[in-house]
Each structure stands twice: as structure tokens, then as C-alpha cells.
Amino acid sequence: MPWVSLRVADDASAVADVMRAFSEACETEGRPPATALFSRTEQDGAVTFYMMGFGALAVAAVVERFGFQRCAPPRPEGVRLLIGHPIAARVLARDVKRSRSWWAEARAGKGEPEGG
């Protein structure tokens, strides 16, 4: 499942805009269970959003509108689920585990990760 992220400076209005747009997109798509928005507040006050499962067209439009970029699954420490089904937290844990295994194999010489 693809992950995307977006870092927003310490700006409450911009944070609210992203959350509102994502919530509206989920409503438009009937709240797909595999779609979720997570966030982490960084030490400098910025907020990093992480989104998974943007297969729905309305949610993909949010990705494009705000300039989310593809990323590895976020470390779960300090990440909280903002919008989405609680099962998304389990998907995050699974994807992090797979990502760590993937990079470990690449470093051990078992293949080079794509794009990496």
C-alpha cells in the first residue's frame, strides 16, 4: 500500500485545510476503510502528515492539491491517527515492519530497493 507525506510549517490554518480536505474526500468516497490520515508534530512545531491508501479519486485529488510525496511508512512513535478506521494503525505497524525488512535485505546485498 503506498504511503505519501507532507510537511506543513507551524501554521494552524494550513493544518486545518489539509484535514478538512481529506475528511471531505473520505466522505465523498464513502469512508474507505483502507484510507487514513496520520500526523506527527515535529520538534520545530511543524506537522508532518502521512496518508495511506489514496486509491479513491477524491483522496488522490487531495494528494495532488497539497503536493504530498511518496514515502516509506512512518515510524509509529509519535504518529497519531487523525482520520480513518482504527484498523489503519495495524496497517501502519505491518507496513513499517515490511519496510524495515526490505531495507535490511537491501543493505545485506540481497537486492537494491526501487528508487532507493
Domain count, the chain: 1
Degrees to nearest 5, angle at CA 46 with 14 and 42: 145
In a domain? residue 112 = no
Tell me the pLDDT tens digit for each residue of 7-61: 998 788 999 999 999 999 888 888 777 788 999 999 999 999 999 875 677 888 8
pLDDT confidence of 116, banded at 50, 70, 90?
very low
Which positions ≥6 away from 38 have C-beta within 8 Å? 49, 50, 51, 52, 74, 79, 80, 81, 82, 84, 88, 92
CATH number at residue 30: 3.30.70
Tell me the pLDDT tens digit for each residue of 61-103: 899 999 999 988 888 788 888 988 777 777 777 776 666 554 4
Give the range of the structural domain holding residue 80, as residue numbers without chain letter: 3-107
